[in-house]
Amino acid sequence: MNTIDINNAISQSFLNLSTLNEDLYDYYVNRLYTVDGDFVKEEWNEKTLSQMEDDVMYNSECNS
């Protein structure tokens, strides 16, 4: 996966979360970005992004 693919996957995850579970969407936005919209670099890691992916998949299954 290249950087563009990763960015697209993250964008798609945020879109999915925003439509599935607004509380989770807010949680990840607050965890991954500062108030000014900058990245919280230490939070952008495999563990956090994997957790986000799991939350998207779980909420997708619950809402189908």
pLDDT score of 60: 79
CB 29 within 8 A of CB 15: no
Model-level pTM? 0.75
> Would you write out the chain's pLDDT as a tens digit for each of its 64 residues?
777 887 788 888 888 888 888 999 999 999 999 999 999 999 988 898 889 888 888 887 887 6
Taking residue 59's Cβ as centre, other Cβ atoms within 10 Å add up to: 17
Q: Which pLDDT score is estimated for 61?
A: 80
> What does the pLDDT read at residue 64?
67
